[in-house]
Structure 1
Amino acid sequence: MASSTATLPSKMKAWTYSEYGKSSDVLKLDSDVVVPQLNDDQVLVKVVAAGINPVDFKRMLGMFKEFDSPLPIIPGFDVAGVVVKVGSQVKKFKEGDEVYGDIIEKAMDQPKQFGTIAEYTAVEEKLLAFKPKNLSFVEAAGLPLAIETAYGGLERCEFSAGKSILVLGGAGGVGTMIIQLAKHVYGASKIAATSSTGKLDLLKSLGADLPIDYTKENFEYLPEKFDVVYDTVGQCDKAVKAVKEGGRVVTIIGAVIPPAFIYIITSNGAVLEKLNPFLESGKVKPIIDPKGLFSFSQTREAFAYLETGRVTGKVVISIIP
């Protein structure tokens, strides 16, 4: 049984797709979606903002359909919003709490049918954390999947103080987080990162000691090798040439070439709680693309922009203006 003092609507607006394909072809705004029912361990979140990630449009294209949940699907993993109802076993959150998180525990194993690009979403308590007080809902919505992926990959390759790291795709959603975590959470001795020419200053501002312009330089042929290479762009074949003997290569996309391994996120609110002090102190900052904030009605445009592959940091949809 779930409890609530407020009277909640039975229907809501949400963006959905009923077949796989390009976002511009299949994504539709539906004003007659049933507000999700809660399980005992879930809270109902009134969505203020939702971050979108490449996994959203890849899923929409049908790349994961053999282990997807049934259609129709509401896309969206990342959420920031306000708790409006709690399940009977929920201990941590109450109505009115401002929360954020990646609502899909395992992206590659029957991901939730109903995501976050909707007025309400139901999510397990364990996947959420309190929103950092200094961040807006839009900023918080751009964090969960990216920062948890960055952190999880660094943990898996046993990154620690005094080690060096090369980040491939340093200006992307995950890359911007890896650089900041490597510097401020782990105490990296040296951080190198790749981007296109116009984004090198951003890499420096995030904490990269060696920004590399991939349009002009082949990082894999640098005389310097790194303890860890974190590949966010699918260049594993080059990444393995840039790592020291005995070092680690982690990738989140594409073919895996030994000794590299692939990291697939498992969402966990405890990770966000652990990182909240770094966010609240301002040491680690969300990076939203300068053109990356879209209104709920512009969800198709938001996906079109994300699909260009030119995004700096994150794209976020503001559900409540």
Structure 2
Amino acid sequence: MAAIPTHIKAWTYSEYGKSTDIHKFDPNVPLPELKEDHVLIKVVAAALNPIDCKRMEALFKDTDSPLPTAPGYDVAGVVVKVGSEVKKFKVGDEVYGDINENALEYPKVVGSLAEYTAVEEKLLAHKPKNLSFVEAASLPLAIETAYEGLERAGFSAGKSILVLGGAGGVGTHVIQLAKHVFGASKVAATSSTGKLELLRKLGADMPIDYTKENAENLPEKFDVVFDAVGDADTTFKPLKEGGKFVTIVPPGLPPPAIYYILKSDGAVLEKLKPYLESGKVKPILDPKSPFPFSQTVEAFSYLETNRAVGKVVIHPIP
């Protein structure tokens, strides 16, 4: 394995603003410090998430880490060094995860859009052998968010669900997990016209074209509604009596809607590993992925159009 450098290449920003204005390529970022419970990862691939954009737009600057920062939550890579308390991983292991335990509270100063990043052992999992680094990087934040929402809603076999925003990073996994892991009786999901076939492939029994049909007016009611897009027109109307409404988009509907922010946990990825290795649950990559490291700014611009299907991934790094 190559010697670990003292300084690394990364995309960073030193002020808040629009991604195209603030990102700079920095070839001289100090290597992040390795704490006892951390592993140092040589980053192979990283995925972009809407939370990265919210962070750079200063939407949670009161609890942000100090600037300058290298953004990025999702990582896939190889362990090159372990802290003294690390038990689960060794040098050479292929790992992946969402590197920030609490998304809005002091995210890593050196995130995944860097050559190396240091991450707590508990946030990582062994990469499924059948997945490429690009595929693995696309998963953690989105699939963990989808899983946590279904758990919070008390979703279980035989229940029905309506997914608002079924073709996005989180929505594609809500459909798959509801159908193939939790055993849903019926999955309905919304998207634009061109993405309906994808919804069917993922396991949606009832793809809904939101440009032609309002999910609010469906004759059918559901045990759970999972809002992955934050549609301002959404109400509790599609819910059965006693049903649960879950949303990941602030401010969301008032209670009894369940609004939550993901708490990252590598144990969830380990739990889902059999479904990923069997192919029952698949990573969904946007057709433009991966973007090379040199085009990270273009990748953010594309993510911000809200036209991405599945995940936008950066690879190789650098």
Could you tell me the TM-score, scaled by structure 1's length? 0.97
Distance in 1 (alpha carbons) for counterparts of 2:122 and 2:316:
23
User: Aligned to 1:149, which of 138, 142, 145?
Assistant: 145
Distance in 2 (alpha carbons) for counterparts of 1:41 and 1:236:
42
Match of 1:32 in 2: 28
CA contact (8 A) 2:114 2:317 kept: no
CA contact (8 A) 2:12 2:70 kept: yes
Match of 2:284 in 1: 287
Distance in 2 (alpha carbons) for counterparts of 1:29 and 1:82:
23
Cα drift, residue 256 of structure 1: 2.6
Structure 1, unpaired ranges of 5+: none
1:319 equivalent to 2:316? Answer yes
Q: CA offsets, 1:85-130, max 9 Å, x none?
A: 0000000100000000000000122222221000000000000000
CA contact (8 A) 1:236 1:251 kept: no
Distance in 1 (alpha carbons) for counterparts of 2:235 and 2:158:
20
Distance in 2 (alpha carbons) for counterparts of 1:203 and 1:267:
26
Match of 1:73 in 2: 69
Match of 2:81 in 1: 85
The amino acid that maps onto 2:53 is: F
CA contact (8 A) 2:74 2:139 kept: yes
Identity %: 71
Structure 2, unpaired ranges of 5+: none
1:307 equivalent to 2:304? Answer yes
Cα drift, residue 241 of structure 1: 1.4
Cα drift, residue 293 of structure 1: 1.5
Matches within 5 A, 1:54-203: 54-203=50-199
* Structure with the higher strand share, 1 or 2: 1
Distance in 2 (alpha carbons) for counterparts of 1:8 and 1:101:
21
Q: CA offsets, 1:217-262, max 9 Å, x none?
A: 0110111010000001002652411111100000000333232121
Distance in 2 (alpha carbons) for counterparts of 1:237 and 1:57:
23
SS in 2 for 1:288: coil
SS in 2 for 1:12: strand
Q: CA offsets, 1:282-313, max 9 Å, x none?
A: 00000000013100000001000000001100
Distance in 2 (alpha carbons) for counterparts of 1:293 and 1:319:
8
SS in 1 for 2:176: helix
The amino acid that maps onto 1:299 is: T
Cα drift, residue 320 of structure 1: 3.6
Matches within 5 A, 1:147-296: 147-235=143-231, 237-257=233-253, 258-296=255-293
Distance in 1 (alpha carbons) for counterparts of 2:63 and 2:159:
37
Cα drift, residue 18 of structure 1: 0.2
SS in 2 for 1:247: strand
Cα drift, residue 179 of structure 1: 0.2
Q: CA offsets, 1:180-204, max 9 Å, x none?
A: 0001110000000000000000000
Distance in 1 (alpha carbons) for counterparts of 2:285 and 2:252:
29
Q: Which moved more, 1:13-22 or 1:65-74?
A: 65-74
CA contact (8 A) 2:101 2:265 kept: yes
Q: Which moved more, 1:235-244 or 1:268-277?
A: 235-244
How many correspondences in the alignment? 317
Q: Which moved more, 1:127-136 or 1:255-264?
A: 255-264
CA contact (8 A) 1:160 1:187 kept: yes
Matches within 5 A, 1:18-29: 18-29=14-25
Distance in 1 (alpha carbons) for counterparts of 2:2 and 2:308:
39
Distance in 2 (alpha carbons) for counterparts of 1:77 and 1:224:
37
SS in 1 for 2:216: helix
1:297 equivalent to 2:294? Answer yes
CA contact (8 A) 1:13 1:31 kept: yes
